[in-house]
A and B are shown apart, each in its own frame.
Chain A
Amino acid sequence: MQAAANRQYARGLSRGFGGALLFAFPLLMTMEMWQLGFAMERGRLLILLLVSLPMLLGLSYFSGFEQTFRLKDEILDALAALAIGILLATAMLAIFGVLGADHPLSENVGKITLCAIPGAMGALLAGKQLGGEAAMAARPKADGGYLGELFTMMVGGLFLAFNVAPTEEIVLIAYQMTELHTLALMALSIGLLHVIVYELGFPGEDLRRQTRGLRRTLLSFTVPGYGLALLISLYCLWTFGRLDGISLHEATAMTVVMAFPAALGCATARLVI
């Protein structure tokens, strides 16, 4: 009994490693992630780590290594995902020669922490992503109601936004765009968000979707979804110190640029989570 349970959980863990690698490798191989790992303000890095804990807990509720919904198991899963994220980031950054034995501990730890967070998210997502068809069908889908759907959107948006947030290109694109470009990108983001959410809908409400009007989708998913995307963008930009000493005009443009991937993430979250 115990041996079988252990074996099954170990399989879940190795799936988690696979998922963490798949989701985190673009960031592990991004130069800005290493630089921000030691250059970004320590307080903000600590806040990011603390913010990721409840998010991992929520993710574990929707897709974890196990098919249970007990709080104890969610906490254990979230911690295991962090273990995977940290171990994977350490191993990969060491192989890439990013970590150095002669570098100060805080520098190495900073780089590992920043890369470990997307890794931990990937580890939990893999519970579903890399799981077999049978495992997916057998799992009762967690239905968190409207708040649960907003949470799912938030995680999806945060994940995609996080993938581009550290890059210099966000700043560069914001510089290059005129006000007209900015407005066009906003319209495109909202339009895509709406079309994807309206077309895909959310599982568990397939029946309602037929009757749900275009206006209801717009009001209950698209508008709050884009609001979430903007907030996520602001948070990511602040975390990486991109807003420090920036004029309101430039900060707005950057937020809109970041909100594009964030909105895509929000819209497609249900595909991934």
Chain B
Amino acid sequence: MVQSKSPPKKPARRKPQSASSSNAALQAPTGTPAIEWVAAALGAALTLFVAGVIGWEALYAREAKPPSIAAERLGVSPVSGGYVVEIRVTNRGGRPAAQVMVEGELMSPGVEPEVAEATFDYIPDKSAREGGLFFKSDPASGTLTLRAKGFAEP
């Protein structure tokens, strides 16, 4: 009976008192949080992996063998003004090569040989890059020879 006199006032007063004490936990975390271990473990794993790959390569994979570059023909498509021969250039040597010049010579019977060139910025060792050579006459009409002309040490 006594409570019914002023019911709206009481709950409003209590609220601020009960919420104040639980906030203190946010300020000073003492132990090492679990997520810190997870992040560090991830970092350690990634670093070991990376160092492993580089170290293995430093010790075994990189040979002193010079770049050995071969060009192969992928396909021919007609384009405006002639044909494009798509090529893949592979470096099977032990070192990367820069500014690799690849030349294609098209020998057709009765016509002067046609030469096209492409330069590949970088071809790492054991890697391939693709490009194309343009010719005016149809490569199917003659014999096309591809060769790498030279490179620079990166």
Contact = CB atoms under 8 A, between A and B. Distances in A.
A66 B29 CA distance: 10
B54 A106 contact: yes
Given A4-B29, A82-B43, A116-B50, A9 B58 contact: no
Interface in A1-45: 1-2, 4-6, 8-10, 13, 35, 38-39, 41-43, 45
Given A9-B33, A35-B154, A83 B42 contact: yes
A2 B43 contact: no
Interface in B65-99: 96, 98
Interface of B: 25-26, 29-37, 39-44, 46-47, 49-51, 53-55, 57-58, 61-62, 96, 98, 122, 124, 126-128, 154
Interface in A95-116: 102-107, 109-110, 112-113, 116
A106 B57 contact: yes
A38 B40 contact: no
Contacts, number: 122
Contact of A103 (B30, B40, B49, B127): B127
Contact of A13 (B39, B49, B124): B39
Contacts of A80: 36, 39-40, 42-43
A42 B124 CA distance: 13
- Name, among B34, B46, B49, B55, the residue most crowded by chain A CB atoms within 10 Å (CB to CB): B46
A42 to B, nearest CB: 4
What band does the interface of chain A fall in when counting residues whose beta carbon is under 8 Å from B?
35 or more
A79 interface: yes
B105 to A, nearest CB: 28
A185 interface: no
A41 B98 CA distance: 15
A195 interface: no
A111 B25 CA distance: 43
A76 B50 contact: no
6 contacts: A5-B31, A39-B122, A42-B62, A45-B58, A76-B40, A106-B57
A176 to B, nearest CB: 21
Interface of A: 1-2, 4-6, 8-10, 13, 35, 38-39, 41-43, 45-46, 49-50, 53, 65-66, 72-73, 75-84, 86-87, 102-107, 109-110, 112-113, 116
A5 to B, nearest CB: 3
Nearest to B29: A5
B43 A42 contact: no
Main secondary structure of the interface of A (DSSP, over half): helix
B53 to A, nearest CB: 4
A66 B37 CA distance: 13
A110 B122 CA distance: 15
A72 B36 CA distance: 11
- Name, among B54, B122, B127, the residue most crowded by chain A CB atoms within 10 Å (CB to CB): B54
B50 A10 contact: no
Nearest to B56: A106
Contacts of A73: 32, 36
Given A2-B31, A4-B29, A46 B51 contact: yes
Contacts of B42: 79-80, 83
- Name, among A4, A75, A105, the residue most crowded by chain B CB atoms within 10 Å (CB to CB): A4
- Name, among B36, B57, B58, B122, the residue most crowded by chain A CB atoms within 10 Å (CB to CB): B36
Contacts of B47: 49, 53, 79, 82, 86
Given A5-B33, A9-B33, A112 B50 contact: yes
The 6 closest A-B pairs by CB, nearest first: A5-B29, A83-B43, A79-B43, A42-B58, A80-B39, A5-B33
Given A1-B25, A107-B124, A112-B50, A6 B35 contact: yes
